[in-house]
Amino acid sequence: MPSIVIIDDEHVLGRQIGRALETSGHEVQLAETGKDGIALVQDTDPDLVLLDLRLPDTSGLDVLEELRKRDPSLPVVLMTAYGSVSDAVEAMRRGAVDYLQKPLDLGELRLLVTRVLDRQRQERELTYLRDRDRVAEGVVGSDQSLVALFEQIDRLREADLPAGKRPVILLTGETGTGKGVLARAIHERLGGGPFIEANCTAMPESLIEAELFGHERGSFTDAKTARTGLFEAAEGGSLFLDEVGHATLSLQAKLLKVIEEKRVRRLGSSRERSVNVHVIAATNRDLDTAVAEQTFRGDLLHRLRVLTFTIPPLRERPDDIAPLARHFCATIGHTYGREVTIAEEGLDRMQRYAWPGNVRELRNVIERALLLESGSEIAAATLRTLLHARADEPETSETNGGFALPEEGVDLAALECNLIQQALERTGGNRTRSAGLLGLTRDTLRYRLEKYELS
């Protein structure tokens, strides 16, 4: 239900406007001074403000300026019985979305409110879609290297090279940096079509060969029918070879042959089939070291690294943390049918965290926090609890959950008992949420409650 704050010192008129808007399905709250109105807006975070130009303690234009300073996206409509062209121009200059003169026509007011809220909803949807596309397009890195990569991809697409001349695209980076997301974004940039994923470590060598290249009926014990391989299934699109650095030497040799010749032979067949696919490979291994250790073929590496992009870890790009966190909060919240935001202090805390699990860890933390919180905001305290101190972070009281080990040591049982009591108090006795704050399962928390005889 859209919420509206009315700031007007005419109490009777304010109540009349409020009732009219409530019958249209809006939640309305009133304030009669500029100071109270600013405080009410700050506390309730409304969707729209109706603001009288003449207030007993200040000018409506000054209140407008203060509201815009706090939240530039908040729509404000000014109302006045003393309207003039100069007032209207000044109000619009300072950021008002519209201007109404008293006495108000309630029908006109309802139409204006509907129009403003619809426009705001469309702008929010557009912002959401832009953020979603930004992240879905691999906003695993927002620096110039990512821009340069997509410029190279665009040139590759425009060149319209024949299948045998297309270079393999290699993505490298730590686990969880978003190589799969970026691979899909590159695929879409190259023109779409089927996007087929193959994990080079997920299956035994014999099975992954059958998956990649296909097989004929009777080619091995369980091959009761012929089957198309993933290379053939990706015809006209892209095949994503994930964890290619962990492929066996035998599989590497077969991959090299397919990449060079763009032809595959199904297991048990004597006939080769041509394939027209973009090959995108990814690995978290240092392939030069793997070549030196003779666990990766040098000739395959040369074929893979024609067009290479290394995704930096999340700790090296803190400016991406807040946009990613907001994106995950919006998308995961949508999945659970909730609209949840993140406290600014919580975002600051996340930007100081090392994120050893990179984007994947960030997503998991946001989902866990969202499940723990029952309100409309993920509190900073919840995030601090979830982000346990890592060995590579400074040993401060904050990164250690607010506790520094004294020289004389501690009574660990008493400390644990105290932390459990704090968690129960914070959650109003909710055991599931308390367990989440402590990083425990509900059963483990119940065991400790019985162990320490806590109610």
State residue 244's pLDDT score. 93
Q: Is residue 138 included in any domain, yes or no?
A: no
State residue 207's pLDDT score. 79
325 or 391: which leads in pLDDT = 325
Candidate from 74-88, 162-176, 180-194 with smallest mean pLDDT? 74-88
pLDDT in tens, 346-359: 898 898 888 888 88
Tell which residue, 379, 401, 382, 381, has the closest CA to residue 390.
Answer: 401
402 pLDDT above the threshold of 60: no
CATH number, position 417:
1.10.10.60
Q: Classify burial at 138, counting beta carbons within 10 Å of its beta carbon; exposed 0-12, middle 13-18, buried 19 or more.
A: buried
Candidate from 19-23, 63-67, 151-155, 322-326 with smallest mean pLDDT? 151-155
CATH number, position 22:
3.40.50.2300
Q: Are residues 33 and 114 in the same domain?
A: yes
Count of C-beta atoms within a 10 Å radius of residue 239:
27
442 or 85: which leads in pLDDT = 442
CA dihedral 104, 105, 106, 110 (to 10 degrees): -100
127 pLDDT above the threshold of 60: no
CB 169 within 8 A of CB 278: yes
State residue 389's pLDDT score. 36
Cβ contacts of residue 219 below 8 Å, gap of 6+? 210, 266, 267, 268, 269
| 100 three-class SS | strand
440 pLDDT above the threshold of 60: yes
**CA–CA distance from 264 to each of 86, 165, 210, 271, 304 (Å)?**
75, 16, 11, 9, 18
Q: Are residues 400 and 435 in the same domain?
A: no
Residues 321-341 have a mean pLDDT of 87
Number of domains in the chain: 4
User: Of 110, 133, 156, which marks where a domain is finished?
Assistant: 133
State residue 428's pLDDT score. 80
**CA–CA distance from 278 to each of 130, 187, 194 (Å)?**
27, 8, 10
State residue 449's pLDDT score. 85
> Domain span at residue 287?
144-312
Average pLDDT of the chain? 82
State residue 426's pLDDT score. 83
Q: Is residue 412 included in any domain, yes or no?
A: yes
State residue 408's pLDDT score. 63
State residue 134's pLDDT score. 46
Q: Are residues 153 and 189 in the same domain?
A: yes
Q: Is residue 8 included in any domain, yes or no?
A: yes
pTM reported for the whole predicted model:
0.54
pLDDT in tens, 249-303: 989 999 999 998 888 988 888 888 888 899 999 999 999 999 999 999 999 999 9
Grade residue 404 by pLDDT with cuts at 50, 70 and 90.
Answer: low
Residues 367-374 have a mean pLDDT of 88
Grade residue 394 by pLDDT with cuts at 50, 70 and 90.
Answer: very low
Q: Are residues 156 and 269 in the same domain?
A: yes
Contacts 24+ apart (CB under 8 A), 402-406: none
Q: Is residue 139 included in any domain, yes or no?
A: no
CB 86 within 8 A of CB 99: no
143 or 23: which leads in pLDDT = 23
Distance CA 195, CA 238 (A): 5
136 pLDDT above the threshold of 50: no
Q: Is residue 283 included in any domain, yes or no?
A: yes
CATH number, position 387:
1.10.8.60
306 pLDDT above the threshold of 90: no
Q: Are residues 170 and 308 in the same domain?
A: yes
State residue 126's pLDDT score. 58
State residue 281's pLDDT score. 95
Residues 205-215 have a mean pLDDT of 81
CB 313 within 8 A of CB 174: yes
Q: Is residue 200 included in any domain, yes or no?
A: yes
Tell which residue, 313, 306, 283, has the closest CA to residue 295.
Answer: 283
Cβ contacts of residue 125 below 8 Å, gap of 6+? none
**CA–CA distance from 288 to each of 11, 22, 138, 255 (Å)?**
75, 67, 25, 18
333 pLDDT above the threshold of 50: yes
CB 170 within 8 A of CB 255: no
